[in-house]
Every structure is written in structure tokens, then in C-alpha cells.
Structure 1
């Protein structure tokens, strides 16, 4: 829960009086010259979760910002010289917007707040009050006049007509406050009725009326976005509003861009997956399953499952990525009478999916494993060096699968590859480095993008001339085909020994939490696991995170356990967002490029190598050669070419945005906003 110390009424009145009395030095003298406004945000940070959340939104979308630690004795003083200066004879505002913990973090009547108010008035700079209480100093009535203060868990708020016409037009209208646990208060805040000068953008029912939670307070030549509830960067209510907060504060023109991404990789297509055994509490066929010999069982999609997958895609307007092992499918076919209706159906529907190489027979591509010990170890030669799969063997696994697909008429992008179990990449603790033969094999086959496990390696990195693309594992297990199997294995992992579980959750309290009681085998998957996994996936979707998620073909078989999770994510998303902000379901290659560009951009910003500003309606962006800049601008913006102009960017969430670079013979990006 986020708490806020209530300011008394006298302090609020004093603050309003102090701001109203601020003089605006030099405003008339500067009026004749259009000022330069640098595309950078000033963040005054008090250490609270609300400012931290907005800072995370700026960072994760590529918006440059300067942070002042309010509690630091060595912080700069916010005065006229800090905020503005003159460049080439033109007045310059160093910040295009300001984020404050509340409407006056420096104290009523302070010189710093007076300087900030004068700066905002002179240059038309907007201010966000990250979290404050309801009172007349921010354009609101006190909560005892038709308002409310307290916990907001489960509150169903709504975007107002003004919000839909303004900064939150990309939302569908409904903003529900999370209530994930009845035992823990998760959000606290104030709802109040607007006074003169205040326009509500988000409100909720209070008694027989409605009261505001977010709104714009215009007064004394200044504009503040007033937020009267506490939040953190992970809560859904903030994630829904984050884009609009940035669009409002920057007046729709800023560096950085944001999308809502969701892609799902289905691994092991054509291959069977081993099945969990509820009596042994392990997976026969796995070397670590004691007593599992002779009890192996597998899960593999049928032709009917393939038909359902194609129909589901059409009904949800969402395309799956099929990561295939052609050789494993051929082995299964040979072992089962030479008939394979699944492959026939998927090949017939091949144009309906995206396809990706997952190696021919799904072997482990790292060190040669010794599975006589638990955990397994890497074997070594007589000289004590680790034995690795050879470059030729790895290359054959990639090449043979590509050739198999080509023979079936399946189109793939040969620059993409995900190895079985992400093998070949380092696997801690047994294999602390990549197979030294992996990079060469990738190069032999033209692979530029290699999938990695985000739970082990969340940051993109090079593998020779290739780059990794981290993927999120979804908590829908590869070794289960039914809801009951999912619930049983989940119980084994997440219940204490006293409740019949493995106790892993007890042994690792920092990374997992034990269930209070085992899930019901018949209902636990749909009632508990599905909502939890859908919430996790939705956080990724709403966090400008392009990393794909991965599951396995077994999850499309038997009880088809994956679909309830995907349905909840997609259906919820399309309720929350307007059609102008669709889910971006892109290829792994495009995600790899996105992550590569972000890393280069963030490095350039951190090194102060980016210069960006607007003068009137003209925006100029300069970055180091080879660095592509993310820019967001209003609809109607034109990019200046050597001769003439062109429409800038692509439409998303009511604005235009793109990664952009100077055109031929240009040294900077120039945009003409409407």
C-alpha cells in the first residue's frame, strides 16, 4: 500500500497563494523570439513508488530525463539558471516537462517552486503531480464534500469524455484497480469533485455521483496533471495510464516510443513431449526421474488439435509461431506405422502460421552430458577439457531442418533459430560458457537471431555475429497435456512438504511462495493457475516489452491447456484498449532488431550524445551515426526530406511514431508537426 501524509488546509492555501504571486521575469522580452524546448524531462524524485513508476515508463520507452534526488544534500538547486539559458541567441528551456512527487515538494513559498512555476509559465511547460491528496490547491474539493479517501482495491474507474478526447483516447474506457489478494491492501488514494479549472480524465463512482482520480488543473498560466492515488510501476492501473501521462506532459512530441507486444512461440512442433507422472512426481524419460524406467509416456498434438489451432487463430485474430523439429516428427512417424496425420494437417495449413527452426531432432547442442549424476555434468577428455558437440553436428541440425521445411513448402526466415532447451548457449552451473562451436555453426547457416531463455538471460547479447533474443517461459508446463496434470505438477512445486509437495518453495523463499494449500486437481488449473499466468503475461504486454513468450506443442494437445491463458490475455486486452492500440504480434527477428536499437539508443542517451529539441512546430533530432532514434509525434507530422516531405512514422494509439534516422545528405532528423 502507498501512503501519503495529508497536507493541512492552511498549507494548501499558502501554496496556492505563493504560486499565484510568482512573477514571470523576462517573458515579454523573450516573446519576440520563439524559444527552443529541449526534448528532455525533469524528474524530481522523493524516493516514492509513484515517481519511480513514471521514471520507469520514461526509461523503458526511451524518453531522456534528468533525475534530481530530492533527499540528496549535493543535488542541484532548481533555479532559473538550472532550468533555462540561451543557445545561439535563442532562449532555451532545458526540459519539456516536469515530474514532481506532488504539487509542491520543495515547501510552500520556496524559491525553487517559484522558479519552477515561472519557468513553466514562460515556456508553456507542463507538470505532473505524481501523487497528491485532494484539496483546492490542486483544483479539487476536499474528500468530505462528496469524495472518498481510503483503499481503492477493486475500484472500477472509467476514462471520462474529456480523457477519451485527450491523453487517454487509446483506452477502451475501463480502468480496474488491481485486487490480487483480499489480505493485502494494494492501493490507496483520494477521489474528489473538481473545482473551477480542473478537468477530470479518470473518475469512479462515489455514492450517487462520481469523483476524480486523475485530471488536469489549469491555473495561473500553468497546467498540472493531478494524480490522487498511489501506485507502483507494475500495477495494471498505472500501466494503462502510463502512456497517456507521458503524452500529456510532452504535449504529444517526445523521444521514445511505446507499443504493446505479444508473441507466442510454440516449441517442439511435430515432436512428442514427455509426460509428468503424478505418482512418481517426476517425468519418466528425464534422467532425473528415479523409478521412471519403463513408465515413459508422451504427449503429441493430433490432426484435430491442428484444425482447432487454425480455427482458434482466426477467431482471435492472432497468429502463433510454430517452432518445429522436422526430424523428430519423421522419427515419430517411423515408430508409428509410417502415418502422421498431424504433420499432414499442419503442412496443409502452413500459410496460417509463422514458422521457425527449432533444430532437426532437438538434441542438446552444448557440452556432451554425463547423465549418470544428478545434476548432470559435462564430460571431459583425457586432457581435462570439456567435450562439446561439434560445429559440423550443430550446423547439420540447423541445415537439415531448413531443408525439411523447404521440401514441405514451409516458409521460414533462416536468420532465426531457437535451439532445443536453448542449448549451446551457456547453461549454469554446469556449462558456464557457450559451446565454442555454436557461433561458427550459426554463421554457417546465416543465423542472426538466436532465442534465449529470459529467466536465465534477460539481456540481449552477442553469440559470434548473432544476437540473442530473450524469450519468456510461460508457466504452462511442457510435460503436461491435461488440466489435472498441470495442477498436480504445480502442487508438487509450490506446496510445502507438510502438504505433500516437494518443499522447493520452502527452500527458496526469495524466489517462490508456497501455496497455503494444494490446488484442487479438477479445478485448480482454470481457477488459479490460468488467472495468475494471464496476469503475468499481461504485465509484459503492457510494459513496452517485445520479448516473446514460449510454450510447447503439448499445450495445444489433449486438454489444450494453453488456450484459456491466451484467451484471457487477448480478451482482457481488447476490452481495456481501443482499436487504435492493437497488440503488436511480431517476428523474433523484428524483436531482435528492436532490442538492438534500444540498446544503442540508451547508450547514446546515457553518453549525452543525443541532441533533440523543438522550435515552434519544428522538431530536430541529432544522434551519433548509426544510431536510430525513436520519436513520437502527433498525427499529421511530416518528415523533411532533401526534396519535399513525407508522412512521418506509423499510427499507434492516436499518434505517429517510428525509429528514424536522417535521410541521404542530411545530418539530423527534421519533423514538421501540425
Structure 2
């Protein structure tokens, strides 16, 4: 849901002085103005303003959106933009986002009002996607610049960008090129016009020239500041995801409600147990329910002690901790069958403090309905009266408690409030089991479980299950029943090719959610050339989207060919190549992820209800929210709350949560924070150009499917 308030009526109010007056006259020896921490987005329905709005939604930053295509929209004038509160002049918006440098008709009174407002209150303006032209501080592209596709180009953060709003980036800003048949990023590359006060923040080489052209830059003129963006983008594209934080920080001056960090957590399921192996002849997994009973020979995959050492070394090299989601029955059975010896468990227990540990139930049973596996796909068994047979409360509780007790007996550093059931069972699963097992919630209560994993592909929204709150996990397309790359590719081909190519045809039957491969992948090269870059890109997209949800793989993927590591390396190595050291990947354990998601849900509900307000007067930010509502904010380093440091450092600023007591919350900004005064004497608004720009080519609004070979 967009976190907007679509204004339907104008607020009656007056500025303390005419917008036509210079800033010095309007503010001379007057009360320091109040600026509300809310953004005004003026949208033309294009992908770029939608992308900025999506970023504000994700961060939890309030905004008001005006749709220029809505005939019933309010008029943007002085009363709409500002008024007075308790005798103090109030700017209702801390920043303005326009679809381009001037989306209005020639001579527009609305553009004149916006320009005067920005001059009077030092309000910055983002031109979300505009034509390079003198009115935006740039020369026309025909004068030695460039107009056209930027697909596949590596742009670069300039020295000024690194010292300013994009300092969290390491330098490179690669542009996607996901399809050879789709133009994904139309752009204008140009240099500042002579005499313009223009600073490029992100640029790229002009084709055929030795010069570089601006893609993102700051234009200062007439007492106003504009962030001029001359390429089109949508909210899914990597280049926008990389720059989104800097755009928000520039337009808010680093003072805004909401926060954003880059998260990555990886759960490894079935530790200590063995996973069944894919059979390339039968195209199913003997020992699992996708193979008819009696077909095939089970050939389990299980980690070794050497795999434990490799995992520990890999963690140390990459600065991340894996969450080992364990089933104790695996080691108990191994010792029974091997004269009391289990080198895998011994190595894990010796190195237990190197990892995080999560209860996965003792023997990994299905904890929903009683499964009838005499048919494929399985169905829920029923009683004589037709009612569903459910796994009992006692059986569920025993699975949780027995596994917990074993882990505690060997000193695993568990958090007993966390639980991942086998296959996320007990929770609803369509089409066979449309509701949760009614015995699940009582069993969770019996064992003090507060955080319960769910599968994001089928249960993405956080919800309550008795005493527990769900934590959705992203399944990685690295299969649980594959320890070798050839097995992974063979199964991938079976799933993602049509029947005529020897595949299952699942992709043909579900065209809305799956795309068939044009040809089967090579079992020798298909994993590295196709699957790894695709899965890397998907996971990195989550990381760059302020999304803390964990990803999950299986212990089988850390042994034999260790097929998970190329994907994990791709995500982390790719990330470290893009971001500065002060913007690390945040690696949370399951309950902390759950808490983050829970706080966001409460905050977002309050924002959507209009119950959270914030404003800045001088070096003080005041936030008002209902009692008990968590509030997040991003502020300059050195900000204090009640005399103590606020938040924690990230990306050159501080951000964090605080819970409202129902009383105004006061945050003190450091004295070095830029003040709310214009950067130059204001010119008469009538001198501001009100000529609309040349119409620019539209960009794609949806994510272009990724084809790795491109």
C-alpha cells in the first residue's frame, strides 16, 4: 500500500510574507520556520516518480502524492504548500519531487508557486527524469552530448557525489541490460551549460567522446536547488536501487522519518540430517513423496566434517554468519548405525559458536494434516465423517521439545523462541491444506515459540499463529535434493522445459508464474552460466530493497560440489564491489528479523492512518505518534535523544527505532546540520522559466525478465 495522503481539499492559510519577496525579507529576524518531514510527489504516472514513491514506502517516509492526470486533484498554490501554526510559518513539505524540471503548461501559476515556495523555505526539488536542457542547467544533448540507450553501461559516482549524497557507494553504478529486445534505460548525457552552478554526482562516458555526461547532478539557481536526473528507471532496476538512498538523503538533507539498510541472512535447513537425492532417470526423488512408493533407490546427501570447516572458513572470509537449522535425529541415527561415531556432529559441536542455530524439529515430520502419499500429488487423509486428520498437539510438541533438549545437551547456542518446522508444515499449504493445523498454535504455546518460519513463496505476509509471529523466508532455487551441479541442472531442466523437450511441462501449465527455457541447459555448464547468475541477481535484488527476510538453502548444498557457495559468493562479492565499507550487509538472526518486520508493520499502519507526524524547527526534530507505536528515523551523525546518542551508524548517518510514549519525541540534531535557509538570494519567481521540457521517451514500468547470457 502506498504511504500517501492524496489531498482532496485545500488548507486555508497564509505565508508570513508574499512568495514574491526575497528570502531575506520573508525571514528577516523572524521566527525560525517549521518544516514538516513529509515529501510532496507530483506524479505524471511515469515509472520514475513511482520509483521514488516506492522507495519512500519501503523506508517508511511519509509523502503526499498529487496525480497530474486526476482532474479532481487539488491546485498547488501558496495555501496548499504552506501556512502558519501557533504563529510559526510552516512549510508542509520538506522536499518536492516532480516528474521533470517543469511538468506544467507554459506560464503555469502552479510552477511559479512551487518555485517561490522552494525559494522561501530552502526546499529542494528532485527532477525525477528530465530532458537535458539549459532550464535544468545542462546543454542540449545535440551539442556534443548523447541521447539513447544506456543499457549495460557502467556509470560512475563522481568525487562530488562520493563526498555528498552518494558516499555510501564504492563508485560504480552498473545499468541493467536484461533483454536484447527491450530498451530499459533511455538517457541523456550532457555537460553543464557555461556559467551554470551545476555539480554532477553520477556520470557516464559520452559515446564517441572523451568527455563524460551527467546522469544525476545538483543545479543551483534563483535561490533553488534541483537534483537533475536525466535517465529513466523503474523501482526494480538495479541502478535505481543503488541510487535510491542517495536521492532520498539529498532531498531530505539526511533528516527524515524512516530508514533503510541492506540485509542478507541465509538459513541452512536439515543440518545433521540427510536429504534425499534427485533421480535423473525417474525424474523424482526416491524417499520423498514426489516418487510413487517403491520406485527408485534412496541415495541420501549428508555433509561431512570437512564441509563444516569449509563453512566456518567461508563465513570468516565473507563477514557473515550462517543459521544452521538442525534436526537432531540425523546424528542420533548416524551414531546408532556407526558404532557411536558421527564425525559431522562432532565437528559441528566443536565449532558450534561459529554458527547460529535454529530448532527444525527432531525428525523433520510433516506437521500439518496427515498426508495420504498413495497418490501424487499427496492429499490430506480424512476421517470416516470426511473431516481432516491432523497431526496431534502432543506429536508436534514432542518434535519441538526433543530437538531443543538435544541441542541444549550439546551446548548449541539456541534461541528457544525460534522454530522452523519441516517444509514449513503445520502452516496452510495450497491446494491440499488451506488452513493451519489447529493443533499447531497450542503446541507452540507449550514450547514458548514466538517466531515461526514461513515460506515467502506461499505465505509472504507476517501473521500470528497462536503465540508466534511468522518470519517469511525466501526459497533459493538451489534444490534441496542436489549435491552436485549436474543433478541441479537436470532437475532444473525437468521443471523449466516443455514436454516436447522432455520436461515436466510445469512451465507450460503455469505461464503466469513460470517461463519455459528455450532449450535444456548443459549439465556441465548450465549451472555456472545460467542458474548461478539468475539466483545471484534475485537474491541481490532483495538485499538492495531494504528487505530483511532471510533466504534458505539446505545442508545438501554445502557438501559434494558445494553448489550453494557460487550463489552466495555472487551476492556478497557483488555487494562489496558496489558499496563502501560504512554500508555493510546487515546479517540478523531470525527473531531480530521478525522484530524488524513487526515494527515496520506497526509503523506503516500508523503512517497510513495519518497518526505519525514530524517536523523540524532549527536543530530540533519533533515526532508525534500514538503510545506504543515504534518510530524509525534517519538523521545526521551526532543526533541525540534525551542527551544520549540516537540510533546506530550506517551509510554515513545514524538510523534506528524508538517507541513512542504518546508524548512528543524530541531529537536534537548536531549543530553542523545544514540549516533551513536558502542557499542564495531568491530571484523574482516571474523570472523562473516555466517552459515545459521536451517530451522524453518513457521507460519500462515493470522488471524486465533477466536472461543471464545477455
Establish whether TM, by shorter chain, passes 0.5: yes
**Corresponding pairs, count:** 649
Aligned residue in 2 for 1:530 = 532
Contact in 1 for aligned 2:161/2:167 (Cα 8 Å): yes
Note the alpha carbon deviations across 1:607-663, whole angstroms, 9 max, x for none.
111121000110001111010100110112121x2xxx1111100000011101357
Q: Report deviation, 1:314.
A: 1.2
1:308 aligns with one of 301, 306, 310: 310
Match of 1:216, SS? Answer: strand
Q: Report deviation, 1:667.
A: 4.0
Note the alpha carbon deviations across 1:230-287, whole angstroms, 9 max, x for none.
1111111000000000000001100000000000000000010011111111111122
Contact in 1 for aligned 2:169/2:580 (Cα 8 Å): yes
Q: Report deviation, 1:328.
A: 3.0
Contact in 2 for aligned 1:661/1:669 (Cα 8 Å): no
Q: Report deviation, 1:339.
A: 2.1
Aligned residue in 1 for 2:633 = 631
User: 1 CA distance for matches of 2:465 and 2:211?
Assistant: 60
Note the alpha carbon deviations across 1:467-521, whole angstroms, 9 max, x for none.
0000000010001111111111111111122222112111211111111111111
**Structure 2: runs of 5 or more not aligned:** 1-17, 672-710
Aligned residue in 2 for 1:591 = 593
Contact in 1 for aligned 2:629/2:660 (Cα 8 Å): no
Q: Report deviation, 1:133.
A: 1.1
User: 2 CA distance for matches of 1:428 and 1:662?
Assistant: 39
Name the structure, 1 or 2, with higher relative contact order (CA <8 Å, separation 6+).
2
Question: 1:378-389, aligned counterparts within 5 Å?
Answer: 378-389=380-391
Aligned residue in 2 for 1:554 = 556
Match of 2:587, SS? Answer: coil
Aligned residue in 2 for 1:149 = 147
Note the alpha carbon deviations across 1:46-73, whole angstroms, 9 max, x for none.
1111111111000011000111111001
User: 2 CA distance for matches of 1:119 and 1:145?
Assistant: 33
User: 2 CA distance for matches of 1:559 and 1:339?
Assistant: 24
* Larger mean Cα displacement after TM superposition, 595-604 or 653-662: 653-662
Q: Report deviation, 1:303.
A: 1.0
- Name the TM-score, length of structure 1 as normaliser: 0.94
Aligned residue in 2 for 1:159 = 157
Question: 1:271-670, aligned counterparts within 5 Å?
Answer: 271-290=273-292, 293-639=295-641, 641=642, 645-662=643-660, 667-670=664-667
User: 1 CA distance for matches of 2:576 and 2:290?
Assistant: 43
Aligned residue in 2 for 1:17 = none
- Name the TM-score, length of structure 2 as normaliser: 0.89
Counterpart check, 1:672 vs 2:669: yes
User: 2 CA distance for matches of 1:313 and 1:662?
Assistant: 38
Aligned residue in 1 for 2:119 = 121
User: 1 CA distance for matches of 2:333 and 2:345?
Assistant: 12
Note the alpha carbon deviations across 1:104-149, whole angstroms, 9 max, x for none.
1122320111111111111111111110111111011111222111
User: 1 CA distance for matches of 2:24 and 2:72?
Assistant: 30
Contact in 2 for aligned 1:37/1:96 (Cα 8 Å): yes
Aligned residue in 1 for 2:205 = 205
Q: Report deviation, 1:297.
A: 1.2
User: 1 CA distance for matches of 2:584 and 2:63?
Assistant: 28
User: 2 CA distance for matches of 1:622 and 1:666?
Assistant: 7
User: 1 CA distance for matches of 2:58 and 2:330?
Assistant: 40
1:88 aligns with one of 66, 69, 86: 86
User: 2 CA distance for matches of 1:30 and 1:87?
Assistant: 16
Contact in 2 for aligned 1:328/1:362 (Cα 8 Å): no
Note the alpha carbon deviations across 1:368-405, whole angstroms, 9 max, x for none.
11111222121222333211111111111111111101
Match of 2:656, SS? Answer: strand
Match of 1:225, SS? Answer: strand
Note the alpha carbon deviations across 1:404-443, whole angstroms, 9 max, x for none.
0111111100111110000011111111111111111111
Q: CA RMSD in A?
A: 1.6
Q: Report deviation, 1:197.
A: 1.2
User: 2 CA distance for matches of 1:400 and 1:341?
Assistant: 22
**Structure 1: runs of 5 or more not aligned:** 1-20
Match of 2:414, SS? Answer: coil
Contact in 1 for aligned 2:44/2:67 (Cα 8 Å): yes
Contact in 2 for aligned 1:283/1:289 (Cα 8 Å): yes
Match of 1:178, SS? Answer: coil
Q: Report deviation, 1:334.
A: 2.2
1:175 aligns with one of 152, 173, 176: 173
1:259 aligns with one of 250, 258, 261: 261
Match of 2:170, SS? Answer: coil
Q: Report deviation, 1:671.
A: 2.8
Contact in 2 for aligned 1:618/1:673 (Cα 8 Å): no
User: 2 CA distance for matches of 1:593 and 1:209?
Assistant: 49
User: 2 CA distance for matches of 1:77 and 1:254?
Assistant: 26
User: 2 CA distance for matches of 1:527 and 1:294?
Assistant: 30
User: 2 CA distance for matches of 1:30 and 1:219?
Assistant: 19
Note the alpha carbon deviations across 1:443-463, whole angstroms, 9 max, x for none.
111111000000011110000
Contact in 1 for aligned 2:19/2:117 (Cα 8 Å): no
